[in-house]
Chains A and B, each alone.
Chain A
């Protein structure tokens, strides 16, 4: 069973640009969550999608957005990049149920210069 796939693995962008990150969940998983990890703030929840609907959103500005497609693949977009957006972006998938946990992808490391 393939794991959670995130692309690209590394990305360098300039301030003011926008970026789109992709996450393909484990086959059969309908929930995809996104997290931002920085040395100063740790792992912070961005948003969670289930069956193409955003169910929950963390405390991030509107520049951070996402979507989920009918095949459960998800994308997140950050517009008007700032230096502080440099981080490791992690995606996790799960299938809600009594015995399932979250499986994470390898992450996308974004550097804003």
Chain B
């Protein structure tokens, strides 16, 4: 199956700082999503982005499908951005594969 690697595994920021999270995948994909997992365990969909660039407020994402990576940018980070960010990809066999996640801690 498709392998998904996320980096860095952990990230600690001061409030107001910017960050970039990376997701590498091993094969072509039909679907790529970024999720934020809140402290209660719910996965919140941030972006559906199999290719191209999207922005939503302070967050933006870019996927370069030909080079098999995606980036999630968080600008002017806030303490509420803390949590685990997951990248998930879907190949041709209808299952979403998740990376191990990036645990982000934003300090006030």
Set of chain A residues within 8 Å of B35, measured between Cβ atoms: 104
Interface size on B, residues (CB 8 A): 19
A103 to B88, CA, bound (A): 12
A95 to B94, CA, bound (A): 12
A56, A88, A109: the one within 8 Å of B95 (CB): A56
Given A33-B96, A43-B86, A50-B94, are A103 and B101 also a contact pair (CB < 8 Å)? no
Please tell me the size bucket of the interface on A: 20 to 34
| Residue from A101, A105, A107 having most chain B Cβ neighbours under 10 A | A101
A56 to B1, CA, bound (A): 12
Number of A-B contacts (CB under 8 A): 52
A102 to B97, CA, bound (A): 12
Query: B-facing mask of A43-81, CB < 8 A → 1, else 0?
Result: 111001010000110100000000000000000000000
Judging by beta carbons under 8 Å apart, are A48 and B95 in contact? yes
Q: How far is the CB of A91 from chain B (nearest CB, A)?
A: 10
Which label, helix, strand, loop or mixed, suits the secondary structure of the B interface? strand
Binding site for B on A (CB under 8 A): 31, 33, 35, 37, 42-45, 48, 50, 55-56, 58, 88, 90, 92, 99-107, 109
Further pairs besides A88-B41, A104-B42, A105-B42: 20, Cβ < 8 Å? A33-B95, A33-B96, A35-B96, A45-B95, A45-B97, A55-B94, A56-B94, A56-B95, A58-B95, A90-B41, A90-B43, A92-B96, A101-B33, A101-B48, A102-B31, A102-B33, A102-B88, A102-B96, A106-B42, A109-B41
